[in-house]
Chains A and B, each alone.
Chain A
Amino acid sequence: VGERSLNALLAIALVGLAALWAVAGSLAEVEQLARSAWAGFLLVVSWPNVLYPIAATLLAMIFALFPGLSGATLMALAISLTLSWDRVPLVLVFGAFVGGATFMGSVTAILFNIPGTAASAATLIDGHPLARQGEARTAIGCSAASSALGSSFGVLALVALLPFLRRAALAFGPAELLMMTVWGLTTIAVITQASVVKGLVTTGLGFLLSFVGQDPRTAEPRYTLGLLYLWEGLSLVPIVLGIFSVGEMLDLATSGRRTISGKTRADQLSGSVWSGARTVFKHPGLLMRSSAIGTAIGIIPGVGGTVASFVAYAHAVQSAGDRRRFGRGDIRGVIAPEAAHDAKDGGSLVPALAFGIPGSEGTALLLAAMVLHGLVPGKELLTEHLDLVFALIWSLFLSNWLTSILGVALVTPLARLTVVRTQLITPVILVLTAVGAYAFRNRIEDVVVAFGFGFVGYLLKKHGWPRIPFVIAFVLGNLFETNFLLTLRLQSLDRIDVFTRPLVLILGALTLVNLASPFVRTRRSARADEE
């Protein structure tokens, strides 16, 4: 399917949404939304309220620069500190935390090949090669522009979808969520490496590691090796830190490269932040489609953010005419995941606000903070406290733009990091990794796990085993297991028939297409070579 056809499809979908609005939305509903949106906007921009999202965004950006310390860590810490706060500053601060950390996670992915969050991992595929070619400024500029525009799309979609939240999210039951997880993972496994087999093996191993700990239903210890530490299961932070941070530093330090970019002076770096930002406007269709993908996947509870950026990346590759530069520093490989990554923030608030089902770790903590302040998700929140909901949305919007603007402002000093000698960077990153792993749960065992997985990550990278599916499968393991068992149970009780559910069938077909596509393309290519 060509790019033009895909753009037309997106336009039709947007027109369809507008038509749905015209048919289903009453004038009173529109008026109420507009009033609440304005009231929420005034809450954000009034003095001194405007300081809350700005300060929270800066704090989240600083936190996100430390490996392992994400916006979620900051939110967890902030819950207890904000217990006595009023509701307005609370939603402003937490809204900004949700949006503030994502961009910096992408910056570390571009500069050091270390994603700040699992969702930023898609950005490193093309972002880091650009940094290695001395084009870090272009990549960061592009990332900033894509993030800002993607988040705007997500926020607008969230506002447009508010009246239809309930109906949309109810379409996803356990069977659909299970298939969504499987589809997302096969997409990741297929796109991120030359060998599909290797991608699927690391996906399986990621799942298996997520099963370490007590069984969620029987509390029976699984794969704990008799160690008390493993009863709680392995946690994501030391694994991500090890696989990417330590693994990447080992690779960098043993590669013989003097600096990340191969350049020794900042004036040798090419590209500029504006050329990066301009490239986004050269690919408006890709930006819009990726934002739509991010928003749509972000809406699905639990799966959202992690899968969105990879599906958008896969879409960028599949819809591109010339695919040869992907993985070697194609700017389209930065636009797509960045737009989707930030657009999903708006989408992930949909199930969180409507049903109290978090779409990500960040929204889970946001919900916890809101519930502690008597803001219970559901009909009441979306009717009686709609102005607060909009304050949250505006705060998220503001923080997304603020991170991009600050990112652009800081791009030159950040890009200079790519000309710092690797021998200087290596101990600093290793030490920060140790601190990050320890700080997460205050356990020294996590540091050992991080360094152990660092060695594994290095070996995987060295021998062409993809690390990204491994980490994403680990993240989605619990969701997979829960929905797998629920689906089996519901099927055995005749409550559902998975073979007659349209979404399950569509997602199943897409999964098969994913698995078959590499072989089909190989055959086609072989045939073309013969001819």
Chain B
Amino acid sequence: MIRLDERSAVSALLVAVAAAFLAGTVGLSPTARLVPLTVVVPTLALAVAQLALDLVSRFDARSGRHDRPDAIPSERVADDDIAPDDRRRHEVALLSWLLVLLGLLALVGLRAALPAFTFLFLRARAGESAALSAVVALVVLATIVALLHTLGLRDFEGLVWSLVAR
């Protein structure tokens, strides 16, 4: 029985990435493509094999058929009790916040975006008090200014300040 779920979708995504790398070798000179081809062919084959394992239900991890008994579960997903739907809701919210951070960066630059994001996240998402959120945001601002100054880095201004400057 073929089973399509998020796990299989991730495997399919990795197959697509490997296939894209394979396609990317077309047009390269033989010298430049030798090593990438040596790597991409077995990688793609293994990724397809993994996808097949994920799709075929008899190899479902729940049956434990292809789990190694001595395996080191080094990177297990958090041992949380959260319901899958709640987790999905949190995922969507967090990804939206990441997009907000990137949007703020693009618009107002590092120095303004990062403290603003910290304040907004703590107030709106974490439900912290305005005072605590402001204090943490100020600490973030001080850290950024100190770091940019110490490292002698040019600040990224963002679109808004660039337009204002013009």
Binding site for B on A (CB under 8 A): 66, 77, 125, 132, 191-198, 200-201, 204-205, 207-208, 211, 215, 217-218, 220, 222-223, 246, 250-257, 317, 323, 326-328, 421, 423-424, 426-428, 430-432, 434-435, 438-439, 442, 444, 447-448, 451, 454-455, 459-468, 480-481, 484-485, 518, 521-522, 525
Contact = CB atoms under 8 A, between A and B. Distances in A.
Interface of B: 6-7, 10-11, 13-14, 17-18, 21, 24, 28-29, 31-36, 38-40, 42-43, 46-47, 49-50, 53, 61, 66-82, 86-87, 90-91, 94-95, 98, 101-102, 105-106, 110, 114, 117-118, 121-122, 125-128, 136, 140, 143-144, 147-148, 151, 153-154, 156
B121 A427 contact: yes
A468 B95 contact: no
What secondary structure prevails in chain A residues at the interface with B?
helix
Contacts of A442: 153-154
A63 to B, nearest CB: 10
Nearest to B23: A223
B46 A194 contact: no
B81 A256 contact: yes
Nearest to B121: A427
Contacts of B35: 211, 480-481, 484-485
Nearest to B43: A204
A223 B46 contact: no
B126 A208 contact: no
A223 B70 contact: no
Contacts of B148: 439
Given A204-B43, A447-B105, A255 B78 contact: yes
Nearest to B110: A438
B72 A192 contact: yes
Q: Which 7 residue pairs across A and B have the least CB separation, nearest first?
A: A204-B43, A256-B82, A423-B126, A194-B71, A255-B78, A254-B90, A327-B72
Contact of B36 (A196, A222, A465, A525): A222
A431 B140 contact: yes
A462 B80 CA distance: 12
Most buried by A among B31, B43, B106, B125: B43
Nearest to B36: A211
A316 to B, nearest CB: 10
A222 B79 CA distance: 41
B102 to A, nearest CB: 6
A193 B74 contact: yes
A439 B94 contact: no
Contacts of A424: 122, 126, 128, 136
Given A208-B18, A220-B28, A434 B114 contact: yes
A197 B98 contact: no
A252 B79 CA distance: 10
Given A211-B36, A222-B36, A423-B126, A465 B72 contact: no
Contacts of A434: 101, 105, 110, 114
Contacts of B42: 200, 204
B28 A198 contact: no
A197 B77 CA distance: 19
A250 B6 CA distance: 17
B70 to A, nearest CB: 5
A345 B110 CA distance: 36
Contact of B94 (A208, A250, A327, A464): A250
B39 A208 contact: yes
Contacts of B79: 132
A370 B70 CA distance: 47
Contact of A205 (B17, B74, B125): B17
Contacts of A435: 110, 114, 143-144, 147
B45 to A, nearest CB: 9
Contacts of B154: 442
Contacts of B110: 434-435, 438, 444
13 contacts: A66-B147, A77-B151, A196-B68, A220-B32, A222-B28, A254-B90, A256-B87, A423-B128, A424-B122, A427-B126, A434-B110, A438-B110, A438-B156
Nearest to B10: A463
A257 B140 contact: no
Given A255-B78, A439-B148, 8 more contacts: A201-B46, A217-B31, A218-B32, A220-B32, A427-B126, A435-B114, A461-B77, A464-B77
Contact of A193 (B47, B71, B90, B117): B71
Contacts of A484: 35, 38
B84 to A, nearest CB: 11
B50 A198 contact: yes
Given A193-B75, A327-B72, A427 B147 contact: no
Contacts of B36: 208, 211, 222-223
A208 B43 contact: yes
A222 to B, nearest CB: 6
B50 A204 contact: no
Contacts of B147: 66, 435, 439
Nearest to A430: B101
B153 A439 contact: yes
